[in-house]
Amino acid sequence: MAKTAIITDSSAYLPDDLVQQFGIHVIPLTVIFGEETLLDVVEIDITEFHRRLSEGPIHPSTTQPNPEDFTALFEKLAKDYDGIVAVLISSELSGTVN
């Protein structure tokens, strides 16, 4: 039976139990608050993001993961999986797909 890996980016905000249950691989986007950069869902969670958004004077921006992050993950997964499916944020909203 073929094994297929699933990849998504952190904009999916999947619950941890779902990520664990299905072995989904999540690549974080970078959240930028002024001069501070944080990896989404790794260094800042959604609760802290919303707190900063509502209480802080700085509105955040985001940037897509580095292509090298995707390459490294694809190469790693290709050793153990027959296929890889990447479900990513829309190209209309982010440069991640590029």
Name the pTM for this structure: 0.84
Q: How many CB atoms lie within 10 A of CB 52?
A: 18
**Residue 82 pLDDT > 80:** yes
Q: 60 near 52, Cβ under 8 Å? A: yes
Q: 40 near 10, Cβ under 8 Å? A: yes
Q: 62 near 32, Cβ under 8 Å? A: yes
For 39-66, how does the pLDDT look when each residue is reduced to its tens digit (9 = 90+)? 999 999 999 999 999 998 989 998 888 8
Q: What is the CATH number of domain 4-87?
A: 3.40.50.10170
